[in-house]
Chain A
Amino acid sequence: MTNMIEIKNLKKSFKVITKEPGLRGYINAIIRPKHKIVNAVNGISMTIKKGELVAFIGPNGAGKSTTLKMLSGILYPDSGTIKIDGLNPQKDRIKLAYRMGTIFGQKPQLWYHLPAIDTFYLFSKIYDMDPEIYKKRLEYLIEKFDIKEFMDQPVRKLSLGQRMRCEFVLALLHKPQILFLDEPTIGLDIVVKKNIREIIKKINKEEKVTILLTSHDVGDIEDVANRVVIINRGIIVYNGTFSNLRKEYLNKKKIKIISETPVVFNNHSATKIINQSKYSLDLEVDLTKTSLKEIIDIIMKNNKIEDISIEDPEIEEIIEDIYNGKEMKITRCG
């Protein structure tokens, strides 16, 4: 079986008590609570093959944490099926637990006051690891993640980056086949983030671990994942590779010009001036309304160009647009 994860038509909704503000709201909430049904996950289907590294992104409340919780056996779906490595998280919870590892970025599993090595030992007992196997595995991971220096110090004394490396060792200790990473780089600075991303890629390749990661940080996805699933309002709005995402949803480009003579440019229905000074111009071009060639021709006709650069929009913007459900059209450049 090459499919590690199979999700079919997953649905989950919650009953939420809504409360109006103010004193009357409080009283009403006690006497006559008002309910609202929230469809957190509204029919999701996807498959993830063994060894894939999939990023699962979406805004807050989109349903990604709910989906992840259903995958890791924390919540039961209302309807639909989940199969992980052929097992059902609901029925085969314990069996699956041996094959699965989790890292919740905001909830560390290492005991704060003790050295990481102590928590490693604890987890070897949780996963019923044979002491010999544990020893060998630990040696291997210590070397791989380069934690020998600080694994004997209390975790509270470690830097965030060091802590995260230890968390990864912990998650990989029992040789899971699948790893769920929920916001693994949250709160980390850029250097550490890069470090962690390398680690994730390395694990995926060398350990052959299937990885599903959720994140708010687009950089995590850009640098790391081979596939992206975007979820919004409980449904999947994009499921494909990252490069396709760029290609299909690329309908804007930025042109930056530096001119020898004062800039002459009339704003267009298809253009938006982002920045303009005497000798420079930053322009956003809507490729659904015009072509890049047209705009460049206009600019070059009226200006003596010293320097020109053409940029893709930030990936955040692309995803922003997808979140907002903007009409997307496949466009061509040039």
Chain B
Amino acid sequence: MAVKDQFRLLWAYLGMSLKTLLEYRLNALLFIGSMIINDLAWMLFWLLFFTRFPNVNGWDFSYMIILYAVICFSYGLASGIFRNANKLQNIIANGTLDYFLPLPKNILYHLLIEKSSQYSLGDILFGLVLAVIFIPIYNFPLFLILSLLSATIIISFQIIIGSISFYIGNSRRLSASLNGGVMSLSSYPLSIYHGIARFIILFLIPAGFLAGVPVELLKSFNLTWFLLLTGFTIAILLIAIGVFYKGLKRYESGNQMYVRS
């Protein structure tokens, strides 16, 4: 019963966002188009790179294609459905959070689905097309599952980073930097990192689990790593929810510090 209601709510919000997008049709195309251009540009970049440097440490252009298929698709899903995860720090710092508190819905879920990114369709399309072309059909279901897990990790991480705003008042830029940084770290092959850096990037900042691991699993499936990925996803999601609600309690107790000059 409650789950059905949540879906209905999500559907309603997606409808609103789609309608808003279509209000300005030209603009919509521009957004979607520019995201596709962006993704294509990166593909071009890597193509040129690997033309110049054919074989680097065992990874090549085909690796990058799969990496981008996963990342674009999962990031598109994340920003298409739970857009506000990326903007959480703004919502808190601006006080927009207040809008959701008097409403009879689960606060975190409600605020996450309230907006959808106009760029997301571009990413989703691009990722899907890459996947359809370059990933063998038998692996497609795996691709979808891995992308879902990846999207969940992205959203969870953004929630944690956005929740910093509960504690330092205005973490807009810090959170934006960290979110951007993690996505960047994820867009490069895991093997360029080694030692402590690799450990951090894999477990603490989940860049490795976000993209690197799914790509490896698509190239050659390994049950242990798949279970690790699933476990990690669930763990980070639970942590994210916990961090948010703890921060929310703090917010509602009004211990937020305001700076007055």
**One of B19, B24, B98, B259 near A74 (C-beta < 8 A):** B98
Q: How far is the CB of B17 from chain A (nearest CB, A)?
A: 9
Chain-B contact segment, one of A111-119, A137-145, A244-252, A290-298: A111-119
Give the Cβ gap from A124 to chain B, nearest Cβ, in Å: 8
Task: Identify which of residues 95-153 in chain A touch chain B, using a CB-to-CB cut-off of 8 Å.
Answer: 95, 97-98, 100, 102, 104, 107, 109, 111, 113-114, 118-119, 121-122, 125-128
Q: Which of B9, B101, B259 has a CB less than 8 Å from the CB of A72?
A: B101
For B99, what are the chain A residues with a Cβ–Cβ distance below 8 Å? 107, 109
Contact of A19 among B9, B12, B20, B261 (CB under 8 A): B261
Q: Scan residues 6-30 of chain B and give those whose CB is less than 8 A from a CB of chain A.
A: 8-9, 12-13, 16, 19-20, 23-24
Q: With A76-B254, A113-B20 as given contacts, are A97 and B259 in contact (CB-CB < 8 Å)?
A: no
Instruction: State A19–B256 Cα separation when bound (angstroms).
Output: 16
Does A195 make an interface contact (CB < 8 A)? no
Q: How many A-B residue pairs have CB under 8 A?
A: 79
Which residue on A lies nearest to B1, using beta carbons?
A128
CB of B195 closer than 8 Å to a CB of A:
no
User: Are A118 and B19 within 8 A (Cβ)?
Assistant: yes
- B22-57 CB contacts (< 8 Å) to partner A: 23-24
Asked if B253 is at the interface (CB within 8 A of a chain A CB), the reply is: yes
Does A310 touch B at the CB level, under 8 Å?
A: no
Do the beta carbons of B102 and A73 come within 8 Å of each other? Answer: yes
Interface residue A94 (Cβ < 8 Å from any Cβ of B):
yes
Q: Tell me the complex Cα distance, A128–B103, Å.
A: 11
Interface bits B158-185 vs A (CB < 8 Å: 1, else 0): 0000000000000000000000000000
A15 at the B interface (CB under 8 A)? yes
The distance in angstroms between the C-alpha atoms of A109 and B100, with both chains bound, is: 11
Asked, given contacts A15-B255, A122-B13, A125-B8, whether A74 binds B261 with beta carbons under 8 Å apart, the answer is no
Q: Is B138 an interface residue (CB 8 A)?
A: no
Contact A74-B23, Cβ < 8 Å, known A12-B254, A16-B258, A111-B16: no
How far is the CB of A114 from the nearest CB of chain B, in Å?
6
Distance to closest chain B CB from A213 (angstroms): 15
From residue 210 to 224 of chain A, which have CB atoms closer than 8 A to chain B?
none
Known pairs A75-B254, A121-B12; A17 contacts B260 (CB<8 A): yes
Report A-chain residues with C-beta under 8 Å of the C-beta of B12.
Answer: 121-122, 125-126
Distance A17 CA – B261 CA, assembled complex (angstroms) = 9
- With a cutoff of 8 Å between Cβ atoms, the chain B residues found around residue A76 in the complex are 252-254
Do A122 and B16 form a contact, CB below 8 Å, given A16-B258, A76-B252, A97-B104? yes
The reply to whether B259 and A118 form a contact with Cβ atoms under 8 Å apart is: no
Are A114 and B16 touching (Cβ within 8 A)? yes
Contact A74 B258 (CB under 8 A): no
A109 to chain B: closest residue by CB: B99
In the complex, A118→B13 CA distance in Å? 10
The smallest beta-carbon distance between A172 and chain B, in angstroms, is: 15
B257 interface residue (CB < 8 Å to A): yes
A114 to B22, CA, bound (A): 10
Residues of B in contact (CB 8 Å), total 28
B252 and A94 within 8 A (CB): no
B101 touches A73 (CB 8 A): yes
- A154 CB within 8 Å of chain B: yes
Known: A97-B103, A111-B16, A128-B5. A69 touches B259 (CB 8 A): no
Select one of B9, B254, B256, B260 contacting A125, CB under 8 A.
B9
* 58-91 of chain A: CB within 8 A of chain B: 69, 72-76
The contact of B9 among A16, A94, A126, by CB within 8 Å, is A126
User: B20 and A114: CB pair below 8 A?
Assistant: yes
B105 interfacial contact with A, CB 8 Å: yes
- 1/0 contact string of A1-27 vs chain B (CB within 8 Å): 000000000001011111101000100
Report if A29 contacts B (CB, 8 A). Answer: yes
Cβ of B143 to closest chain A Cβ, rounded Å: 32
Partner of B102 from the list A16, A102, A125, A128 (CB cut-off 8 Å) is: A102
In the bound complex, residues from chain B placing their C-beta under 8 Å from that of A17 are: 257-260
Query: In the complex, A69 Cα to B254 Cα: how many Å?
Result: 10
Which residues of B in the span 202-233 have a Cβ within 8 Å of any Cβ on A? none
22 A-B pairs whose Cβ atoms sit less than 8 Å apart in the complex: A14-B254, A14-B255, A15-B257, A16-B260, A17-B258, A18-B260, A72-B102, A74-B252, A75-B252, A76-B252, A76-B254, A97-B103, A102-B102, A107-B99, A111-B16, A118-B19, A121-B12, A122-B12, A125-B12, A126-B105, A128-B5, A154-B23
Further 18 A-B residue pairs, CB within 8 A, beyond A97-B104, A113-B23: A14-B255, A15-B255, A15-B257, A16-B260, A17-B257, A17-B260, A69-B98, A74-B101, A76-B252, A76-B254, A97-B102, A114-B20, A119-B16, A125-B12, A126-B104, A126-B105, A128-B5, A154-B23
Q: Which 5 A-B pairs have the closest CB atoms?
A: A97-B104, A125-B12, A72-B102, A19-B261, A74-B101
